[in-house]
Structure 1
């Protein structure tokens, strides 16, 4: 058997309560669960989802594997990373995430760079942006808009 490797870049999220996170991502972002690997105590050492055509991996927090420190966004005081989804129905997808339990970080609005865009935080502390291109904008136009801000 030969395993074919495809180049990829996949976020790997650490959460408290990975089964609940999987349920949330299914409701909020239409994720499809690919699989999960639980320990005997039920904590997930690995799970894989597909969201918007991309692989997302996640696992429960295991401080014992990180020098005794929790690695979840709440334990770290937040996250510097935003996971971005480009979608064709951003108003509906943004509301779907809110209905599933996300909170608004940045309200959905038309942005100077040409996207209708907003940001949410999921119940596990991870930040997601959702955007839909609505008009073509050149880099020169973006630069002019930034210099006027």
Structure 2
């Protein structure tokens, strides 16, 4: 009998150095390692972490598998079009913790028109992470006015 399935969505990150990435995510975001599956050469073919109550999967880059020889790391691709967002209760502390662990500040923390204190980091493996914390409620009218003023 097949196990019961609970639908969810989880990012699956490709990195150079998945074991080092796990260490970084533990230090930067307080990740909990659920498990890892090393291949014969020691590279990780799969790993799963818990970050901020959600699952994040990752593996080392294997261009010979599934991608027709194309490396899929942000470094190889010249960046990442995806930003992973963490909504947290103490954004200043978490942001600084990630910087101390080795993240690069892309956008410093500041209060945004939508009501969050928000900033963006790049991890040492090229993935972008935004961190936010609601600091005030914004009405739909305020949001529309702020958008109109920004154009």
TM over 0.5: yes
The count of aligned residue pairs is 149
Instruction: Report the counterpart of residue 52 of structure 1 in structure 2.
Output: 52
Instruction: Report the counterpart of residue 78 of structure 1 in structure 2.
Output: 79
Q: Measure, in 2, the Cα distance between the counterparts of 1:47 and 1:139.
A: 41
Q: Measure, in 2, the Cα distance between the counterparts of 1:140 and 1:76.
A: 40
Q: TM-score, normalised by structure 1?
A: 0.98
SS of equivalent to 1:97: helix
Displacement of 1:4 after TM fit?
Answer: 2.0
Deviation track 1:58-78 (CA, whole Å, cap 9, x = no partner) reads: 000001011111100011010
Displacement of 1:142 after TM fit?
Answer: 1.1
Instruction: Report the counterpart of residue 30 of structure 1 in structure 2.
Output: 30
Deviation track 1:41-65 (CA, whole Å, cap 9, x = no partner) reads: 1000000000000000000000101
Displacement of 1:5 after TM fit?
Answer: 1.1
Deviation track 1:103-137 (CA, whole Å, cap 9, x = no partner) reads: 00100001110000000000000000000000000
Displacement of 1:31 after TM fit?
Answer: 0.2
Unaligned runs of 5+ in 1: none
After superposing on structure 2, the runs of 4+ consecutive aligned residues of structure 1 that deviate more than 4 Å are none
Q: Measure, in 2, the Cα distance between the counterparts of 1:96 and 1:15.
A: 21
Q: TM-score, normalised by structure 2?
A: 0.96
Instruction: Report the counterpart of residue 41 of structure 1 in structure 2.
Output: 41
Q: Measure, in 1, the Cα distance between the counterparts of 2:2 and 2:58.
A: 26
Instruction: Report the counterpart of residue 5 of structure 1 in structure 2.
Output: 5
Displacement of 1:2 after TM fit?
Answer: 5.0
